[in-house]
Each structure stands twice: as C-alpha cells, then as structure tokens.
Structure 1
Amino acid sequence: MKRYLKLLALGLGLSLLLVVSGCNDVKKRADTVDTWQQIEQKKRVVIGLDDSFVPMGFRQKDGKLVGYDIDLAKEVFKLYGITPDFQTIDWSMKETELRNQTIDLIWNGYTKTDERAKNVAFSQPYLKNEQYLVSKKSQQIVNDSSMKGKILGLQSGSSGYQAYLDEPKVLKQYVKEAIQYDTFNNAFMDLDADRIQGLLIDSVYANYYIAHKKDPASYRKENAGFASEDFVVGMRKGDKTLQKKINEAFKVLKENGTLERLNRKWFGENVN
C-alpha cells in the first residue's frame, strides 16, 4: 500500500510538473514568437471580441457583426491585404485566449491598464473612454455616495470592474453588493427591472445604448470618478511586427481622413 501511495504521489507530481512546464512554454512562445509572417502568408488575422459591446462590436438583429472596431480593424488590415476573422470569446478569458493563440488580437473597446500590461502588448491608443455610473433617474443617484446601501452591476473582466476593485474609496465603499454580468446588455435588463440600482459601464457603450432606448431621458449618466481610459488593441508581447503594422496603419488612417469618417459614423462627431 505504501508503495502504491508513493507511486501515486510520484505520478501526480510528474503530471503537475508537465502542466507547469507546458504553461511556461505557452507563455514563452507568446512573449517571444513574432507571428506576422504566418498572418501575412495566410492573409488572415483572428480578432477576439465580445459581440454585444455597442457601438464597438455587436450583432444586429439579423446577426450581422458591425461596429466601430469592426470597421477600424477592416480598414487597418485592408492596407496589408489581410482579412480579419472576428471570433466571439468569453471576455473574462480574453488574455488566456490570446496567450494560447486561439486569437491574434483583442480588439473591442479594450482598455490599456498596468495590470494587463504584465501579459499583453498594446497598440497606440486610438480612442478615449470613461467609466460612467448609469442609473434610472427615479433612483436619484447623482454621485458615487448615492449608491450607499444599493446594488451595483459590473461586467466580468472589464476595466470598470478592475478599477472598482483597485480604487475602493471611489465607489466600492458605498455599495451594498456588486453583481457581475457576462455582458452589459444583461446588466441593463436588470437595471430596467430594478434588480440593480446602478451600473458601472464604459461611456461609449452607455451613450450609444441609451440613445437607442425608447425613453433615453429616463436614465442618468454620471462620471464614476475614475481616471479616463485609452482604448488600444491587445496582442502578444512577441508580436512586435504586428504591433508596428497596426500603429503605422493608424497613422495612415488619421492622415487620409478615415478615422474622422468612422468617428462621425458611430459617435456623430470627431472624438479624436
């Protein structure tokens, strides 16, 4: 029996060692391998997104994928003769999907943060964003302290959720309970049903979504008190060439007026 237990422990130890070694190998590849040549040869790049994030990337009623980031990605890779393949992912697993090479890029209202910089390389910023505290006007929530004793909704894996955790004195100290959602759309449904009283959400999403509701005037939007954010494209640290190509494309699209055209199409103004 003792011999069996020793063999079992040895087997488990070897299995754990193989798992750790495999994880280290995956991370090493992600941090060192430049995949641009493969992307260029295949003429295909895989972009991971949350397909419910209006107006950056979302599905219309007919199922067609549209949005600001969809248009921008297509314009970027058109310059290189490459077709973007947009893949819906679990947003809370986006960095894992990137590291495991299931996707090549995270591009969907993705905020640059110090925490994400530990594992992900970023493009140059292309759009500003803020975190809004959204509520129904009937709740009379005018600032973060108005959330005292109330329930807040957040999206799992979002920059707003991370800011909420990292800066507890801004909003967290007042909130009675925080509920995580897989999408902002589901959170809005609970807000409308009064199951939550406030929603911490990206300003670009809030502005677009509320503007398309039947009664936009029934909502209140307040700056949540966190610092403004930069939207960027996320990629593996080893993809230096891909990073360079995207940054160069942003410069071209700004100079030829494409960025301004997309801004006016999706936001009604040139926000850059």
Structure 2
Amino acid sequence: GLKQICERGKIIVGMAPEYKPFEFKNKKGEIVGFDVDTAKKVAEILEVELEIKTYKWDKLMPALEKREIDIIISGMSRTLKRAKKVNFTDSYFKTGQVVLVSKKRANLGRYEELDKKGMRIGFVKKTTGEDVAKKYFKNVDIVPFDGETNATKALLKNKIDGFVIDKVFTDFFIKQNPDAKVLVGQLSKEDYCFAVCQGNSDLLIWLNYFIQESKSTGFFSTLYKRWFIEQAWK
C-alpha cells in the first residue's frame, strides 16, 4: 500500500512501452511519454524514487496481481472484466476504439464495410480492441498480435485489412503514415485509469486525489499539449 511505498522510498510502475505517445522507446532507447511523465509526477509528489518495469501488454495485469509492481499506468481502459482482478482509479484520459486501415482499403467509408468474408482484422491480445473486434466483426478472420508494433507492420504490409485500436493511437500513426486512415464510426467509449492491487484502498484514494488535482491544476492539459500538439519529442 501507500505506507509501504513511502517506507521503501520507491514506487514501481508497470508499463507496456509500445503505445505512442503514452509510453514508448525514443531513439536513445529511453521510455518516454504521457504516462511516463505522469508516473514521474506521482513519484515526485510522494517524494519517492520511480522504477518503471516493462512488460508485454498481456503480462501487465498478472504482474500487478503477483505484486511485482505497485501500479499500472499504461493507457489501460477500465472494464468490468478487468475490475474483477484489480482496482481502478478515476479516469485520467478519455478515448474509444476505431478501425485503422492502410492505403489498400482507403476506399472504404464505414467500419461495417470491412465485415465480410476474406477480410482480416487485427487487434492486440487481451485489450479492449480484442473485445470490440469480436463484437462487431462476425464474418472476418480475426488476427491477434502481441503489441501495436507488429500489428501496424502487418497492416502496412497488407497482411491484415484493418486494425482495431484506440483512437488516440491512430492520430499519431496517420501523421507518420499519411496513406492510412480511420474508418467512420467509433466502436466504443473508454476511460484510461491507473490500476492497483485489489484491496489497496489507501493508494487508490491517494491516486484519485492526484488525478483530481492534476486535472484542476492543468497538469494533464500541459502533458496533452507536450505529447499530442507540440510533439517536440519526435
């Protein structure tokens, strides 16, 4: 809990660093992004050291359950299914799932047009993208990936026809790959939250205060400007 973190003098945060601009490796191999700056701020206010442990996406929740980490800050959407295993804070970012296509399918308008035999739809395993893909696409071949990097490579090589992913990710991807586009229609509305171990109420309450204060002081707005608008990190 919170007391142990303060006594230890260190907070251990879990991330899956394949998700621009929330957490990713820059050209120097450092992990940077919106969530990294958020984690640094948490550590700074708690007056403890920050340690970031990195995992593949589907290993993040098990790491928290095994208490290898204190908290997940990694663009994770709060769902009722996940909340059976971990406790979520209030929302710090709002997003939703959309379908990203490459130049090959850029003639399509709405996402429904992809739902036919012979089409291949990708998603990252154990994400809300997987849940949404299975819900909306009944006639396609669905293709799981272990992270955004391999999924987008497959999309650009036309190995898949569409990739179900959070809208914020696509804004970036399209700036770097202008031939790609998002099909019309958002498939879900989601909240990104921090996750902590079940029963860790003191840490949960403190983090909710942190989120509330970060919104009211403009801290999150500053981060949004830095990572989404200025993009000085490129």
Provide TM-score, normalisation by structure 2: 0.91
1:28 maps to none
Alignment counterpart, residue 163 of structure 1, candidates 132, 148, 166: 132
2:64 maps to a residue whose letter is L
Shift of 1:206: 1.3
Q: Which runs of 5+ in 2 are unaligned?
A: none
Tell me if structure 2 keeps the 8 A contact 1:49–1:87.
yes
SS in 1 for 2:72: strand
How many residue pairs align between the two structures?
227
C-alpha offsets along residues 56-82 of structure 1, whole Å, 9 cap, x if unaligned? Answer: 100012101100011112112211102
Q: Does 1:235 align with 2:202?
A: no
Partner of 2:67: 101
Percent of aligned pairs sharing the same letter: 25
Following superposition, the deviation at residue 198 of structure 1 comes to: 0.5
CA distance in 2, matches of 1:38, 1:254: 26
1:145 matched residue in structure 2: 112
Q: Secondary structure at the match of 2:199?
A: coil
Matched, 1:268 2:229: yes
Deviation at 1:252, TM superposition (A): 2.1
Q: CA deviation at 1:53?
A: 0.8
Equivalences for residues 184-263 of structure 1 within 5 A: 184-213=148-177, 216=178, 218-263=179-224
Where does residue 83 of structure 1 map in the other structure? 49
Residue 258 of structure 1 deviates from its aligned partner by 1.3
Task: Measure the CA separation in 2 of the matches of 1:203 and 1:253.
Answer: 23
| Letter of the 1:204 counterpart | V
> Residues of 1 paired with 2:218 and 2:61: CA distance?
32
Q: Which of 181, 189, 197 does residue 145 from structure 2 map onto?
A: 181
Q: Contact 1:120–1:234 at 8 Å: present in 2 too?
A: yes
Cα distance in structure 2, aligned partners of 1:163 and 1:221: 15
Q: CA deviation at 1:219?
A: 1.1
Q: TM-score, normalized by length of structure 1?
A: 0.79
Cross-structure match for 1:113: 79
User: In the alignment, is the contact (CA less than 8 A) between 2:24 and 2:31 conserved in 1?
Assistant: yes
Structure 1 partner of 2:99:
133
- Residue pair 1:76, 1:250 contacting (<8 A) in 2 also: no
Secondary structure of the corresponding residue to residue 126 of structure 1 = strand
Question: How far, CA to CA, are the matches of 1:141 and 1:187 in structure 2?
Answer: 20
Question: What is the CA-CA distance between 1:224 and the residue it aligns to?
Answer: 5.0
* 1:225 Cα deviation from its structure 2 partner: 4.0
SS of the equivalent of 2:213 reads: helix
Q: 3-state SS of the aligned residue for 1:134?
A: strand
Show the counterpart of 2:19.
53
Change (3 A) 1:224 1:89: farther
Cα distance change of structure 1 residues 225 and 212 upon mapping to structure 2, 3 Å threshold: closer
- Partner of 2:90, secondary structure, is coil
Whether contact under 8 Å (1:131, 1:224) holds in the other structure is no
Cα distance in 1, alignment partners of residues 190 and 204 from structure 2: 20
1:67 partner amino acid: G
1:123-172 per-residue CA deviation (whole Å, 9 max, x = no partner) reads 1101011111000243123223321120011101111112333x2xx2x2
Deviations 1:7-40 (A, max 9, x none): xxxxxxxxxxxxxxxxxxxxxxxxxxxx221111
* Shift in CA distance, 146/256, structure 1 to aligned 2, threshold 3 Å: same
Q: Give 3-state SS (helix, strand or coil) of 1:109's partner.
A: coil
Q: How far apart are the structure 1 equivalents of 2:156 and 2:81?
A: 32
Q: Distance in 1 between matches of 2:72 and 2:142?
A: 26
